[in-house]
Chains A and B, each alone.
Chain A
Amino acid sequence: MISITTALDWNWDTTWDVLPTLLSTFLKVTLLVTVLSTLIAALLGLVIAMTLRLAPKPIAVTVKWIANFIRMTPIVVQLLFAYYAFLSLDGITIGILIFGIHYSTYMSEVYRAGIDAVPQGQWEATTALSMSTRRTWTAVIIPQALRATIPALGNYAVSMFKDTPFLLVIGVVEMVNAGLIFGGNTYRYIEPLTLVGIIFLLASYPTSLLIGRLEKRLAFNT
């Protein structure tokens, strides 16, 4: 270990200097954006999936193409667009909204698959019991669809987490930007950037493992 750090010209003083800043940025910006955007994406994704399923055909097709458009264009350009188009909103707010909207188009696909996976017999039972459309969705279809989708939604949340550095294009000081600013002031890039990578790895890898285990458990229980 010593030899590797020597070869890399690693400076431990710099490390302890920058680490607190990075960790507080992690909590205040990266996690905040991830959590709030995930909530938006999960809700909006469900709305999109239900619109595709329930709305009249012209509306459904329009929504589908808008979703495709958002999903297939860079979040960086979407961030820049929204940032300059809505000057009254600050970068973090724009980031939360754009990440939420962008990822909602992915999550809607997950919900769609989950809804499609609810067996035909369940729909038939709701008809045989004369259940209302509303009750059919809220009491039968969504609870069952959700169960199968939770792991995939979790994976997208982790994806979004690792995408948060894109926020630096609109000047948000998330972890990478904090590292670059530190580097610009001290001419030390290796410690901050390596630490940011390690923080991402330490946060995302165990989460992915947990999601994988959850996925197995949910799969066996049905």
Chain B
Amino acid sequence: MIEFRDIEKSYGDHLVLHELNFSVAKGDRVTLIGPSGSGKTTILRLVMTLEEATDGYIFIDGQPLTHEERGGKRVARSKKDQKDIRKRIGMVFQQFNLFPNMSVLENIIEAPVHVLGQSKAEATTRAMELLEKVGLADKAEQHPTSLSGGQQQRVAIARALALDPEILLLDEVTSALDPEIVGEVLGILRNIAETTDITMLIVTHEMQFARDVSNRVLMFDGGKIVEEAPPSVMFSDPKHQRTKDFLHAVLGDAEGTIGTH
């Protein structure tokens, strides 16, 4: 579903990702973990085309995303081709990024109506279903600014799902929230993971959530994958010293592991 081939990304002369290769199968739930600055956000932003790789190729379902190889050269794809693929990808941001000039409902139906070309009625019906799912059906007419952080993030999740994405990117979606409302947002994401087959790429510091939802965990450090394993193995029996140190630091317990429940 997603393939990174020899991806390199640098900002100026600061090399962030170097010869990165990995792929994610359809329906996979992959969690990226690693210390701050290791390049996790950059990877999601590359998939969402918010950043462009400096070298290498990304494929979505076998199709090149932004650049392709033609006659031995790396050339950019047309804006239209890029857009067609981008439609299949949704993203939820750490800071929600809801449009403050639109109501909750308008935020959600914006893309279905103007990108997918659905009728307003059709999009509204679907939006109400999604709002029901995230427990905010009564807030449809409200303004995002009048909602709490947790509620805004739930709307943002509904907005991303309204495009019916095949791939959902989640970048630390609970980091901007108060600890006591993190649970409500994660609960909704768990539910989505259970009831759909959307491919997910998740960056999170919530290790319990990663363990419950994902089937693969990639440990990053310095723009490279240092270890890759199913969560049950990664969290209870990490092989690499960097992973052990990292898990130890985030989990803050003696063993650096979390139990199953």
Contact = CB atoms under 8 A, between A and B. Distances in A.
A and B touch in the complex (CB under 8 A): yes
B22 interface: no
B115 A132 contact: yes
Interface residues of A, number: 19
Q: Considering residues A119, A124, A147, which has the most beta carbons from chain B within 10 angstroms of its beta carbon?
A: A124
A122 interface: yes
B102 A129 contact: no
Contact of B115 (A122, A131, A143): A131
B135 interface: no
Interface stretch (B86-94, B179-187, B211-219, B242-250): B86-94
A127 interface: yes
A128 B91 contact: yes
Contacts, number: 61
Interface string A79-95: 00000000000000000
Contact of A121 (B83, B87, B93, B101): B93
Nearest to B156: A125
B95 A147 contact: no
A61 interface: no
Contacts of B86: 127, 130
Interface string A211-222: 000000000011
A222 B99 CA distance: 12
A119 B87 CA distance: 23
A139 B114 CA distance: 10
Contacts of A53: none
Contacts of B97: 119, 121-122, 124-125, 128
A147 B99 CA distance: 13
A140 B83 CA distance: 19
Nearest to B95: A121
Interface residues of B, number: 25
Interface string B98-129: 11111000000011001100000000000000
Given A129-B159, A130-B87, A140-B101, A135 B114 contact: yes
B236 interface: no
A130 B93 contact: no
B5 to A, nearest CB: 23
A24 to B, nearest CB: 41
B50 A140 contact: no
A144 interface: yes
Given A121-B95, A129-B163, A147 B101 contact: yes
A125 B114 CA distance: 14
A144 B145 CA distance: 13
B49 interface: yes
B2 interface: no
Interface string A120-153: 0110110111111001000110011001000000
Contacts of B159: 129
Contact of B99 (A127, A130, A140): A140
Contact of B101 (A119, A130, A144): A144
Given A121-B93, A128-B160, A130-B83, A222 B114 contact: no
B49 A127 contact: yes
B33 interface: no
A128 B48 contact: yes
Nearest to B169: A128
Interface in B60-83: 83
Interface in A82-126: 119, 121-122, 124-125
Contacts of B99: 122, 125, 139-140, 144
Nearest to B162: A129
Contacts of B93: 121, 124-125, 128
Given A128-B50, A132-B114, A140-B101, 10 more contacts: A125-B98, A128-B89, A128-B90, A128-B160, A130-B87, A131-B110, A131-B114, A139-B99, A140-B99, A144-B100
17 contacts: A119-B97, A122-B99, A125-B93, A125-B97, A125-B99, A127-B50, A129-B111, A130-B111, A130-B115, A130-B163, A131-B114, A135-B114, A135-B115, A139-B110, A139-B114, A140-B101, A221-B145
Interface of A: 119, 121-122, 124-125, 127-132, 135, 139-140, 143-144, 147, 221-222
The 3 closest A-B pairs by CB, nearest first: A125-B97, A121-B97, A128-B91
